[in-house]
Amino acid sequence: MSDSEEESQDRQLKIVILGDGASGKTSVAMRFAQEAFGKQYKQTVGLDFFMKRIMLPGNLNVTLQVWDIGGQTIGGKMLDKYIYGAQGVLLVYDITNYQSFENLEDWYAMVKKVNKESDSQPFVALVGNKTDLEHMRTVKTDKHQRFCQENGLGSYFVSAKTGDSVFLCFQRIAADILGIKLNKAEMEQSQVELSSTQKQPGFGAHAQDVPHGGRVDPGVQMERGRKSQS
């Protein structure tokens, strides 16, 4: 089988990241796709795209198309179009910013509105970011858990800064979408691999960055698209 035939068998999943401005959506996507983190805040205008190929148990290659939506798009006319067709949604808040947690109600309402008439519903996960700032936490974990239970959401606590649980979060949501069960060893393995790839930026034993369209080119580290809200 030729390379292109193999690639065409890759599954592609659309994952949308939603939440207030400065909650860390771009940082989470960048940590996942590029194993990088920037301290400087640069607001996302409209949306950005990240692509990353991961491998799930059974040698299943999956390309995650991550739609990083700017926090300012809430209330804008493009938001429902960005959400449309997503198989996975990450609702991201900053654990040190209570307002960012409260406002997830509005973001989640948009997700429900867009999918109201759709046959298939996306997997939605609640993601508390910035766990490296635990000492500044203002959102109690039981509030987080209750929101998950009431709405049947996946639950994650991550730090885009340290990378803690970021890969695991994307890996598990991809596995959930595809109905694949990950055992404990596989989840732990992904953490080990993430920490080893952090020492060697750009090269992961388990995951490769791919440009748009799912075409794998080892010479291309990452390609990001930018689209402004019109």
Ligand X SMILES: Nc1nc2c(ncn2[C@@H]2O[C@H](COP(=O)(O)OP(=O)(O)OP(=O)(O)O)[C@@H](O)[C@H]2O)c(=O)[nH]1
Q: Which is nearer to ligand X, 56 or 167 (CB)?
A: 167
With vertex at residue 189, the alpha carbon angle to CA 31 and CA 161, rounded to the nearest 5 degrees, is: 20
Residue 147: other Cβ atoms inside 10 A: 19
Contact footprint for Mg ion (CB under 5 A): 25-26, 44
Instruction: Report the residue number, 27 or 208, with the smaller CB distance to ligand X.
Output: 27
Judged by CB, which is closer to ligand X: 115, or 165? Answer: 165
Closest approach of Cβ 173 to Mg ion, in Å? 19
* Phi, psi angle pair for 30, to nearest 5°: -70, -35
* 70 in Cβ contact with 226 (< 8 Å): no
CB 87, min distance to ligand X, A: 21
Q: Select from ligand X, Mg ion, none the partner in contact with residue 132, using the beta carbon and a kind-dependent cut-off of 5 to 8 Å.
A: ligand X
Nearer to ligand X, 41 or 84 (CB): 41
- Give the angle 136-139-141 at the CA atoms, nearest 5°: 110
In the complex, least distance from residue 40 CB atom to Mg ion, rounded to whole angstroms: 12
CB 215, min distance to ligand X, A: 27
The Cα 23–Cα 72 span in angstroms is 12
For the chain, report the end-to-end CA distance as a whole number of angstroms. 43
184 makes contact, choosing from Mg ion, ligand X, none, with CB < 5 to 8 Å by partner type, with none
Task: Return the amino acid letter for 147.
Answer: F
User: Which residues make up the interface to ligand X (CB under 6 A)?
Assistant: 21-27, 38-39, 41-44, 70-71, 129-130, 132-133, 159-161
